[in-house]
Amino acid sequence: MEPERSLGEEKIFSGKIIKVSRYTVELSNGIKTTREVVRHPGAAAILPYDEATGKVYLVTQFRFPVGQTLLEVPAGKLDIAGEDPLECAKRELLEETGMSAARFEYLGYIFTTPGFSDEKIHLFLALKLEKVAELSTDEDELVDVVETDWREFLKWCEEGRITDAKTLALALRSRRFLEGRE
Amino acid sequence: MEPERSLGEEKIFSGKIIKVSRYTVELSNGIKTTREVVRHPGAAAILPYDEATGKVYLVTQFRFPVGQTLLEVPAGKLDIAGEDPLECAKRELLEETGMSAARFEYLGYIFTTPGFSDEKIHLFLALKLEKVAELSTDEDELVDVVETDWREFLKWCEEGRITDAKTLALALRSRRFLEGRE
């Protein structure tokens, strides 16, 4: 038996990016309650790492919901539900940093906030980088690129200068890949 | 000048946990667009770590939005906007694991998904643990406690058995605290 069984969905909002529904559910103990769910198409996030120089490339972007400019890894939504996350990663890396990568390591996915949303972000480490274009972000997405050392980036994640959850998750998974287990 | 200036808010939904609004905004380049925002009261997440045994305590919980039972650190919403995150951390630790902690290390906060929500989660490492009560979660929140070693927990985060973003972020920040920089 499912731990929580839907007894009905009330569709509340269908926006440009998110959809919101409220479900009536029955729990395994028989109790009835409601669940508010924000549907999101999913996304890909990329840490571009230059093996020759030890540099990583981040972006700063004003985030209206939190009212702050945040330092994050390049990332973007899947264009269509079911878009290959790797294709999304390649596109967003190019759009936000002007770079392509000859090698992508898939580092699994995360759920950003599974208590109220289904948003799933696929994590990639991008290697063998090449600068191929000027930036070409969407007109309503203004980003700047920040270049720093891998160890400095890790410190920013650990010490709290970086607060974006997907960026911290990608730092943890990338660290395993780049430095191994001690 | 603010990078994005609100020209108006359309309130869409006010639920038990989230509120949803759509804003019309003007960007610094003059372009007008919309932003969909999910307001959340904020939360605290806690990694309980027993220094004597090296054990950490996690919880499993069915997450309706993603349709899966996830392995996560104990966590919960701030009861009221402006509740002291430390008080929230103490309450949630007790409710979800039956333990109290004589020492809490604050490891900063994260934004779980700043592209569409203001949800901010405060991260704590709980030390000097003591078992003080049976579990007493809310009746619509059914959780089980999982005990494992710190290094095993870190491996689960790195290798993808754990997919919850706040748990990965807390693993990264806790690692710095427990193991230092190499």
The DSSP 8-state label assigned to residue A166 in this structure reads: H
Q: What is the rounded distance in angstroms from the CA atom of residue A60 to the CA atom of residue B158? A: 25
A24 and A60 in a single domain? The answer is no
- Asked if B70 and B21 sit in the same domain, the reply is no
**Would you put residue B4 in left (φ > 0), alpha (ψ -120 to 50) or beta?**
beta
Which pLDDT belongs to residue A55?
97
Per-residue model confidence (pLDDT) at position A82:
81
Nearest CA in chain B to A34: B16
How much of chain B, in percent, has pLDDT values that exceed 90?
86
Interface of A with B in 123-182 (CB under 8 A): 139-140, 142, 155, 157-160, 163-166, 168-169, 171-173, 175-176, 181-182
Are the Cβ atoms of A63 and B114 closer than 8 angstroms? yes
Kindly tell me if the per-residue pLDDT of B34 is higher than 50: yes
Residues on chain A touching B171 (C-beta within 8 angstroms):
172
**Is B139 tagged catalytic?**
yes
- Are B50 and B116 part of one and the same domain? yes
Q: What tens digit of pLDDT does each residue of B117-146 get?
A: 999 999 999 999 999 987 666 666 778 999
Residues B74 and B101 occupy one common structural domain: yes
CATH number for the domain harbouring residue B137: 3.90.79.10
Q: How confident is the model at residue A136 (pLDDT cuts 50, 70, 90)?
A: low
Instruction: Give pLDDT, residue B79.
Output: 87
Same domain membership, residue B148 and residue B67: yes
* Shortest CA gap A27–chain B (Å): 7
Look up tokens 């198409």; give the residue.
A41
The pair of structure tokens assigned to A180 is: 């191994």
Domain count, chain B: 2
Q: Around A151, how many Cα atoms within 13 Å sit in the side-chain half-sphere?
A: 5
Q: Residue A98: pLDDT above 70?
A: yes
ipTM of the modeled complex? 0.95
* Contact of B22 with B35, CB cutoff 8 Å: yes
Domain co-membership, B56 together with B10: no
Size of interface A-B (CB pairs under 8 A): 199
Q: Are residues A33 and A97 in the same domain?
A: no
Token digits of residue B14: 């006010």
Which H/E stretch holds residue B170? helix B165-179
Give the per-residue pLDDT at B55.
97
- Convert the pLDDT of each residue in A51-88 to its tens digit: 999 999 999 999 999 999 999 999 999 987 689 999 99
B117 in A contact zone (CB under 8 Å): yes
pTM: 0.95
User: In this structure, are B35 and B68 located in the same domain?
Assistant: no
Rg over alpha carbons for chain B, rounded to the nearest Å, is: 18
Interchain contact B23–A (C-beta under 8 A): yes
The one catalytic residue in B139, B141, B147, B179 is B139
Average pLDDT over residues A98-127: 98
Selected residues 67-106 of chain B with any CB under 8 Å from a CB in chain A? 67-70
- Over residues B151-182, the pLDDT tens digits come to 999 999 999 999 999 999 999 999 999 987 54
| Domain match, B27 and B101 both | no
**Domain extent for B35:** 4-39
- Considering the domain architecture, whether residues A112 and A175 belong to the same structural domain is answered as yes
Q: What is the mean pLDDT of chain B?
A: 94
Q: How far apart are CA A77 and CA B116, in angstroms?
A: 12
Share of chain A above pLDDT 90, in %: 87
Q: pLDDT tier at A182 (50, 70, 90 boundaries)?
A: very low
Asked if A92 and A163 sit in the same domain, the reply is yes
Query: A18 contacts in B (CB within 8 Å)?
Result: 20, 36, 38, 116
